[in-house]
A and B are shown apart, each in its own frame.
Chain A
């Protein structure tokens, strides 16, 4: 029961990521696209955790951890570029 539920949960997370990709495609401003990217990053992290449990390869937890930190740095860099015009 648990494995079936988690397979459907992974499918639902993929569908939610595609739906939020619509906002990244059609957002009127750049900050909309950054927000949609943040949502997609969240979906990818949750999907990675579920895939970790389903395939029983637990070193993917480190990959999800690094992915959270890298997405944080990337978002801050994009917002600094939008706000000040240059990164450095």
Chain B
């Protein structure tokens, strides 16, 4: 598990110590990422509406995968793999909010009904479409 590439005993001890600290930090970061993913899935299951579910999902998703990738950056050997992981983290951070926004906009355009007791502040589509949220109840 721990890769020792060292000649002298003193260097070996120093590298072992650094590896141990790095592994502990990686375990803490990946536990945080798993916690955020768990919170996102609980929100996806238990919240009452498409918009509420996307509100829970869009942030916890990005944060969870970002923390897991940050934890993996600390323990993966090789510069190429680290660069690939960082590129993947940047792509996730850019793509996940864009996908969440497009899903929410599509649900709004299709006229998905809101949950009980919630209302819309913006009246962006109201002039063209009339009563917008009197549409279908699911499909």
Q: Which residues of chain A from 1 to 49 have any CB-CB distance to chain B below 8 Å in the complex?
A: 1-3, 5-6, 9, 12-13, 16, 19-20, 22-23, 28-32, 34-36, 38-39, 42-43, 45-46, 49
Interface size class of A (residues with CB under 8 A): 35 or more
Contact status A2-B75, CB under 8 Å:
yes
Across the interface, which residues of B come within 8 angstroms of A9, CB to CB?
A: 30, 34
The distance in angstroms between the C-alpha atoms of A17 and B99, with both chains bound, is: 18
Contact status B37-A83, CB under 8 Å:
no
Contact status A75-B102, CB under 8 Å:
yes
Across the interface, which residues of A come within 8 angstroms of B65, CB to CB?
A: 42, 45-46
Contact status A49-B69, CB under 8 Å:
yes
Contact status A1-B50, CB under 8 Å:
no
**Does more than half of chain A's interface fall in helix, strand or loop, or is it mixed?**
helix
- Taking the closest CB of chain B, its distance from the CB of A79, in whole angstroms, is 5
How many residues of B are in contact with the other chain, CB < 8 A?
49
Contact status B37-A13, CB under 8 Å:
yes
Contact status B112-A29, CB under 8 Å:
yes
In the complex, identify which listed stretch (B8-16, B82-90, B118-126) lies at the interface while the others stay far away.
Answer: B82-90
Chain A residues with a Cβ under 8 A of chain B: 1-3, 5-6, 9, 12-13, 16, 19-20, 22-23, 28-32, 34-36, 38-39, 42-43, 45-46, 49-50, 53, 58, 61-62, 64-65, 68-69, 72, 75-76, 79, 82-83
Chain B residues with a Cβ under 8 A of chain A: 1, 23, 26-27, 30, 33-34, 37-38, 40-41, 44-45, 50, 53-54, 57, 61, 64-65, 68-69, 72, 75-76, 78, 80-81, 84-85, 87-88, 91-92, 95-96, 98-100, 102-103, 106-107, 109-110, 112, 137-139
